[in-house]
Structure 1
Amino acid sequence: MAAHSINRFDYYAAPRAPITWPHAVGVIPRQADCFQHREAVEALQRAVFGGGAAVLCQVLSGTGGVGKTQLAAHYARGCRRDGAVDLLAWVTASSRESIVSSYSRIASDVVAADSSDPEQAACRFLAWAETTERRWLLVLDDLADPADLRGLWPPANPRGRTLVTTRRRDAALGGRSRIRIDVGLFTPAEAESYLAAQLAAFGRQDDRAQIAGLAADLGHLPLALAQAAAYVVDLGLNCAEYRARLADRSRTLSELVPDDSGLPDDHRAALQATWSLSVEHANRLRPAGLARPMLHLAALLDANGIPVDLLTSAPALRHMADHRPAGGAHSQLVPLSVDEAVGALRCLDRLSLADHLSVGSRQRVRIHGLVQRTTRESLSTSERDTLAVTCAEALIAVWPTFACESSLEQALRANAEALISHAGSALWQSGCHPVLLRTGESLGATGLVAAALSYFQALHAEACRNLGSDHADALTIRHYLVTWQAEMGDLGNALTEFAVLVEDRLRVLGPDHPDTLAARGDMAAMQGRAGDPAGAGVSSAEVLHDSLRVLGPDHPQTLTARLNVAHWAGATGNPIAAVKDCEALFADTARLLGPEDRRTRAVRLHLALWRGEAGDPAGAVLDFEQLLTDQLRVLGPDHPQTLNTRHDLARWRGKAGNPEAAVAAFEHLLIDQLRVLGADHPDTLTTRHDLASWRGEGGDTRSAVSALEDLLVDRLHLLGPDHPDTLTTRANLAYWRGKDGDPAGAVIATSELLADRLRVLGPDHLDTLTTRHNLAQWRAEAGDPAGAVVAEAEVLADRMRVLGPDHPHTLSARHHLAQWIGKAGDPQDAAVALGRLLVDQLRVLGPAHPAILATEASHAFWSEAAQHE
Structure 2
Amino acid sequence: MIPRRAGSFQDRAEVHRLRSAVEGGGTAVLCQVLAGMGGVGKTQLAADHARHAWAVGEVDLLVWVTAATRQAVIDAYAQAAADILHTDPADPERAARAFLAWLEPAPGRPRWLIVLDDVADPADLRDLWPPAHDRGRTLATTRRRDAALATHGRLVPVGLFTPAEATAHLRHALAAQGRTEPEPDLAALAEDLGHLPLALSQAAAYLTDTELSAAAYRTRLTDRARQLADLLPEPGQLPDDQSTPAAAAWSLSVDRANELRPAGLARPMLELAAMLDPNGIPQQVLTGESALGYLTAHRSFDHRHSPTPGPSSVTEEEATGALRALHRLSLIDHSPAEAHQAVRVHQIVQRTLRDPLDPDHRDLLARFAANALTDAWPDIERDAGLASALRANTAALIACAEGALYQHAAHVVLHRLGESLGSSGQVAAAVQHFQDLADNTAHLLGPDHPSTLASRSDLIFWRGQAGHASGAAEAAALLLEDQLRILGPDHPNTLTARSNLASLQGRSGDAPGAAAAFGALLEDHVRVLGPDHATTLSTRNNLALWLGQAGDATGAAAAFATLLEDHVRVFGPDHPHTLTARHNLAGSRADAGDLAGATAAFATLLEDRLRVLGPDHPHTLATRHNIAHFQGEAGDPAGAADATAALLEDRLRVLGPNHPDTLTTRNNLAHFRGEAGDPAGAVEALTVLLEDHLRVLGPDHPNTLATRFSLAAWQGITGDSHGAAKATAALLEDHLRVLGPDHPDTLAIRTTLTHWRQLAGEQ
Normalization by structure 1: what TM-score? 0.61
Find the partner of 1:472 among 450, 462, 466: 450
Return the offset for 1:783. 8.7
SS in 1 for 2:342: strand
Q: Structure 1, residues 138-196: CA drift from partner, whole Å, max 9, x if none?
A: xxxx9xxxxxxxxxxxxxxxxxxxxxxx99xxxxxxxxxxxxx9996864995997868
Which ranges of structure 1 fall in alignment gaps of 5 or more residues?
1-35, 46-70, 80-141, 143-165, 168-180, 213-223, 240-255, 788-869
The change in CA–CA distance for 1:632 and 1:361 in structure 2 (over 3 A counts) is farther
Return the offset for 1:513. 0.9
Letter of the 2:599 counterpart? V
Q: Structure 1, residues 21-75: CA drift from partner, whole Å, max 9, x if none?
A: xxxxxxxxxxxxxxx9997899645xxxxxxxxxxxxxxxxxxxxxxxxx46778
Q: Are 2:544 and 2:560, in contact at CA under 8 Å, matched by a contact in 1?
A: yes
The change in CA–CA distance for 1:550 and 1:690 in structure 2 (over 3 A counts) is same
SS in 1 for 2:293: helix
Aligned to 1:729: 707
Return the offset for 1:689. 1.5
- 2:573 is aligned with 1:589: no
Aligned to 2:540: 562
Matches within 5 A, 1:381-392: 381-392=359-370
Letter of the 1:487 counterpart? Q
Aligned to 1:347: 325
The change in CA–CA distance for 1:75 and 1:721 in structure 2 (over 3 A counts) is farther
- 2:376 is aligned with 1:398: yes
CA distance in 1, matches of 2:759, 2:45: 81
Q: Are 2:418 and 2:433, in contact at CA under 8 Å, matched by a contact in 1?
A: yes
- 2:745 is aligned with 1:770: no
Q: Structure 1, residues 574-621: CA drift from partner, whole Å, max 9, x if none?
A: 233323322333343344345554433432332222122222333333
CA distance in 2, matches of 1:706, 1:445: 27
- 2:412 is aligned with 1:434: yes
Find the partner of 1:331 among 293, 298, 310: 310
SS in 1 for 2:515: helix
SS in 1 for 2:230: coil
Q: Are 2:15 and 2:45, in contact at CA under 8 Å, matched by a contact in 1?
A: no
The change in CA–CA distance for 1:336 and 1:716 in structure 2 (over 3 A counts) is closer
Find the partner of 1:740 among 703, 712, 718: 718
Letter of the 1:413 counterpart? R
Aligned to 1:228: 120
SS in 2 for 1:539: helix
Return the offset for 1:686. 1.3
The change in CA–CA distance for 1:187 and 1:77 in structure 2 (over 3 A counts) is closer
Letter of the 2:269 counterpart? M
Find the partner of 2:282 among 301, 307, 313: 307
Find the partner of 1:320 among 273, 283, 295: 295
CA distance in 2, matches of 1:598, 1:279: 48
Letter of the 2:120 counterpart? A
The answer to which structure, 1 or 2, has the higher relative contact order (CA under 8 A, 6+ apart) is 1
Return the offset for 1:775. 4.3
Return the offset for 1:313. 0.6
Q: Are 2:283 and 2:339, in contact at CA under 8 Å, matched by a contact in 1?
A: no
CA distance in 1, matches of 2:228, 2:724: 70
Shifted more, 181-190 versus 647-656: the winner is: 181-190
The change in CA–CA distance for 1:726 and 1:265 in structure 2 (over 3 A counts) is same
CA distance in 1, matches of 2:13, 2:740: 59
Q: Are 1:533 and 1:572, in contact at CA under 8 Å, matched by a contact in 2?
A: yes
SS in 2 for 1:300: coil
Q: Are 1:195 and 1:229, in contact at CA under 8 Å, matched by a contact in 2?
A: no
Letter of the 2:293 counterpart? R
Q: Are 1:302 and 1:414, in contact at CA under 8 Å, matched by a contact in 2?
A: yes
Matches within 5 A, 1:746-765: 746-747=724-725, 749-765=727-743
Letter of the 1:228 counterpart? A
Q: Are 1:646 and 1:669, in contact at CA under 8 Å, matched by a contact in 2?
A: yes
Aligned to 2:599: 621
CA distance in 1, matches of 2:637, 2:4: 67
Shifted more, 191-200 versus 705-714: the winner is: 191-200
CA distance in 2, matches of 1:562, 1:462: 35
The change in CA–CA distance for 1:715 and 1:291 in structure 2 (over 3 A counts) is closer
The change in CA–CA distance for 1:598 and 1:328 in structure 2 (over 3 A counts) is farther
The change in CA–CA distance for 1:314 and 1:717 in structure 2 (over 3 A counts) is closer
Q: Are 1:762 and 1:768, in contact at CA under 8 Å, matched by a contact in 2?
A: yes
Aligned to 2:263: 288
Q: Structure 1, residues 78-97: CA drift from partner, whole Å, max 9, x if none?
A: 99xxxxxxxxxxxxxxxxxx
Identical positions, percent: 45
Q: Are 1:325 and 1:331, in contact at CA under 8 Å, matched by a contact in 2?
A: no
Q: Are 1:489 and 1:724, in contact at CA under 8 Å, matched by a contact in 2?
A: yes
- 2:469 is aligned with 1:494: no
Return the offset for 1:263. 5.6
SS in 1 for 2:684: helix
Return the offset for 1:432. 0.4
The change in CA–CA distance for 1:37 and 1:453 in structure 2 (over 3 A counts) is farther
Find the partner of 1:260 among 210, 230, 233: 230
SS in 2 for 1:425: helix
Matches within 5 A, 1:145-164: none
Aligned to 2:688: 710
Q: Are 2:712 and 2:724, in contact at CA under 8 Å, matched by a contact in 1?
A: yes
Q: Structure 1, residues 332-353: CA drift from partner, whole Å, max 9, x if none?
A: 2x33321121112112122222
Return the offset for 1:568. 0.9
Q: Are 1:298 and 1:372, in contact at CA under 8 Å, matched by a contact in 2?
A: yes
Aligned to 1:279: 254
Return the offset for 1:541. 1.3
CA distance in 1, matches of 2:535, 2:482: 20
Aligned to 1:820: none
Q: Structure 1, residues 310-363: CA drift from partner, whole Å, max 9, x if none?
A: 11111111111222368986532x333211211121121222222210344557
Question: How many residues are treated as equivalent by the alignment?
Answer: 595
The change in CA–CA distance for 1:611 and 1:227 in structure 2 (over 3 A counts) is farther
CA distance in 1, matches of 2:542, 2:480: 18
Find the partner of 1:374 among 332, 349, 352: 352
Q: Are 2:340 and 2:385, in contact at CA under 8 Å, matched by a contact in 1?
A: no
Letter of the 1:425 counterpart? G
Which ranges of structure 2 fall in alignment gaps of 5 or more residues?
21-36, 52-61, 81-115, 130-139, 141-225, 237-241
Find the partner of 1:208 among 54, 62, 76: 76
Shifted more, 363-372 versus 640-649: the winner is: 640-649
Aligned to 1:414: 392
Letter of the 1:265 counterpart? P
Q: Are 1:321 and 1:336, in contact at CA under 8 Å, matched by a contact in 2?
A: yes
Q: Are 1:456 and 1:481, in contact at CA under 8 Å, matched by a contact in 2?
A: yes
Matches within 5 A, 1:851-862: none
Return the offset for 1:564. 0.7
Find the partner of 1:504 among 482, 500, 503: 482
Over the aligned positions, Cα root-mean-square deviation in angstroms equals: 4.2
Q: Structure 1, residues 648-707: CA drift from partner, whole Å, max 9, x if none?
A: 232122123321121112222333434444444322321221112112222322222332
CA distance in 2, matches of 1:488, 1:620: 30
Return the offset for 1:397. 0.9
Shifted more, 734-743 versus 256-265: the winner is: 256-265
Matches within 5 A, 1:562-581: 562-581=540-559
Aligned to 1:176: none
The change in CA–CA distance for 1:78 and 1:287 in structure 2 (over 3 A counts) is same
Normalization by structure 2: what TM-score? 0.69
